Amino acid sequence: MAGKTVVVRLNQQQLELLDRTIARGEATDRVALIRKALREQAAKPRDGGVR
């Protein structure tokens, strides 16, 4: 797998929101949550507008 490393810069409030989302069982950790968000957004049907 080639791929690439992406660094997402987040502040403590953004991290708090992600951590609370993780706490409710959406993902096991921050990386997994970000990956899930990316994949779920990509799976949504495109309507030609901003999603």
Smallest separation, CB 28 to other proteins (Å): 13
Residue 40 to residue 46: CA distance in whole angstroms: 12
Smallest separation, CB 27 to other proteins (Å): 11
Report the 10 Å Cβ neighbour count for 37. 14
Sites of contact with other proteins (CB under 8 A): 1-15, 17-18, 20-21, 23-24, 30-31, 33-35, 37-42, 50-51
Report the 10 Å Cβ neighbour count for 36. 14
Smallest separation, CB 40 to other proteins (Å): 6
